[in-house]
Amino acid sequence: MQIFVGLGNPGAKYERNRHNIGFMALDRIAGEHGFGPWRSKFQGMLSEGALGGEKVVLLKPMTFMNLSGQSVSEALRFYKLTPADVTVFHDELDLAPGKLRCKLGGGHAGHNGLRSIHQHIGEAYARVRLGIGHPGHKDRVAQYVLQDFAKADADWLDDLLRGIAKGAPWLAQGKPDRFQNAVAQALTPVAPKPARKDTAQTERPPKQAEEPQDETRSPLQKLVDRFR
């Protein structure tokens, strides 16, 4: 059994924020893999189902980002699991928009949700880092992550979430490389097919121009030429 945790902030006000891309990822997985209805538990919203033959619990902490670890630690204790059974989906400033990377362990890099989880269960859990890009200066980060995705982000964001849902069974089976490949395929533009040639309209080679006739020849000469 595994727990997939999506990070974000509760409430309609934050629903489309860049900071809430972890919530969005879990919603897409739940919707496309027939998970059960969301219900309130462990200071969060929980949905249960299966991916790739593995039982998976989806958890969205409702404690606000800075206290996410409280919800995660409660779930771990209830199910008698370890940090190795946890995968956290979160926004990542250090990756370009639409990029995704899997990581095991390591620091929290200043992410408040990860910082809280570190404090409650340690760092030995897996992460799915979802690139949202960087605003360019650290003083703009707080405002940037709490802004909604721009309309121009809609296409790549939908492709990314679709790829996450498609590849989620690989992640549940402990195959992050295959999971990342599935996401990459969803983000790769489909090459346009070459135009088919209509055989009925295939151009025919131009007829060779007939040699100009010498109209100064006599009727007898013309008759002789016909029998050559």
Q: What are the counts of helices (DSSP H) followed by strands (DSSP E) for the chain? A: 7, 7
Q: Is 19 a catalytic residue?
A: yes
| Residue pair 141/93 in contact by the 8 Å Cβ criterion | yes
Work out the end-to-end distance of the chain between its first and last CA atoms, rounded to an integer number of angstroms: 95
Question: 192-207 burial string, b = 16+ CB within 10 Å, else e?
Answer: eeeeeeeeeeeeeeee
DSSP collapsed to 3 states, 52-120? CCEEEEEEEECCCHHHHHHHHHHHHHHHCCCHHHEEEEEEECCCCCCCEEEEECCCCCCCHHHHHHHHH
From 175, 72, 78, select the one nearest 123 (Cα to Cα): 72
Which position among 19, 33, 90, 118 bears the catalytic label? 19
Q: Which residues are catalytic?
A: 19
